[in-house]
């Protein structure tokens, strides 16, 4: 059987089209990476829902018992009194079980918000400075390999396991040459001496890297992101942080004042 159809020729290493949305998302991720490399994260607090985790009722022959695991609390085991056989004792036990169960369900459905501490993450400012100085791909790759935190694509656990949490960071290694070339572009604010100057470099380099991540030429990505319009109902990272282009404060100023997602 012959089927005539136009098969889109897949050019190696080139997706059909990079959406502006994806580009914008990676811009945010790369800003996070370079900003973190430069400044690290201070200790912070975040609010999460305290969802209880486990409720087990063990019955059968003899004593019944409840096993309840709340949020951030040691588990509780409640045992029925031995030899509680009178109707009154049984009724008391039943209502106790019911009460614990209701409380658990209520906490499941309406978990109370709790604030938890988020540990500080140190900067790797030495690597940020080196990245700005780097002139060759080899230098960039060496810097990438030296990073223990911010340029690593993997989140590692003490037991030796890991997850590939930031796969996009590998693009810095792969695109090391394009990264160096992009710093020669006149749009790179290499000599901006203002306090916020370094954050303009963060923004520019994040745009370059976002482009490389979605396989766009860095200069195309820089232009696309610079001219991007954000609708009034836009909920991208920039609009959520209330910065340019929809809001008057620029990313560079916002970062220079020490703000970022925590």
Please report, as ranges, the residues that interact with Zn ion according to CB under 5 A.
230, 234, 236, 238-239
Between 28 and 52, CB nearer to Zn ion: 28
CB of 236 to Zn ion, least distance (A): 3
CB of 45 to Zn ion, least distance (A): 26
Query: Encoding tokens for residue 65?
Result: 């018992």
CB burial string 61-78: b at 16+ within 10 A, e below: eeebebebebeeeeeeee
Round the CA-based radius of gyration of the chain to a whole number and report it: 27
CB 162 within 8 A of CB 156: yes
Between 38 and 238, CB nearer to Zn ion: 238
H helices of the chain, where? 20-39, 87-109, 125-133, 137-146, 170-174, 176-182, 197-213, 218-227, 237-240, 251-256
CB of 223 to Zn ion, least distance (A): 17
CB of 227 to Zn ion, least distance (A): 13
Between 187 and 230, CB nearer to Zn ion: 230
CB 167 within 8 A of CB 141: no
Between 32 and 124, CB nearer to Zn ion: 32
CB 90 within 8 A of CB 61: no
Between 78 and 239, CB nearer to Zn ion: 239
Q: How far is it, in rounded angstroms, from Cα 69 to Cα 76?
A: 6
CB of 248 to Zn ion, least distance (A): 14
CB 123 within 8 A of CB 40: yes
CB of 197 to Zn ion, least distance (A): 24
Between 50 and 234, CB nearer to Zn ion: 234
């Amino acid at each position: 059987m012959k089927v005539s159809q136009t098969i889109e020729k897949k050019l190696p290493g080139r997706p059909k089209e990079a959406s502006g949305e994806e580009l914008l998302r990676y811009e945010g991720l790369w800003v996070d990476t370079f900003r973190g490399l430069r400044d690290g994260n201070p200790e912070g607090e975040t609010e999460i829902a305290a969802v209880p985790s486990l409720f087990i009722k063990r019955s059968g022959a003899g004593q019944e018992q409840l096993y309840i695991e709340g949020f951030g609390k040691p588990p509780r085991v409640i045992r029925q009194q031995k030899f509680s056989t009178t109707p009154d004792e049984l009724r008391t036990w039943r209502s106790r079980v019911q009460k614990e169960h209701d409380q658990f369900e209520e906490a499941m459905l309406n978990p109370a918000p709790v604030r938890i501490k988020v540990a500080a993450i140190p900067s790797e400012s030495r690597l940020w400075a080196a990245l700005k100085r780097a002139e060759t791909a080899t230098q960039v790759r060496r810097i990438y390999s030296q990073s223990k935190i911010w340029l690593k694509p993997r989140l590692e656990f003490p037991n030796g396991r890991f997850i590939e949490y930031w796969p996009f960071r590998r693009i810095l290694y792969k695109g090391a040459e394009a990264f160096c070339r992009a710093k020669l572009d006149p749009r790179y604010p290499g000599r901006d001496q203002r306090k916020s100057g370094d954050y303009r470099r963060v923004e520019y380099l994040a745009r370059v890297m976002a482009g490389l991540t979605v396989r766009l030429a860095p200069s195309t990505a820089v232009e696309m992101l610079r001219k991007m319009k954000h609708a009034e109902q836009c909920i991208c990272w920039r609009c959520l942080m209330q910065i340019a282009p929809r809001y008057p404060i620029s990313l560079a100023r916002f970062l220079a004042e020490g703000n970022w997602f925590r």
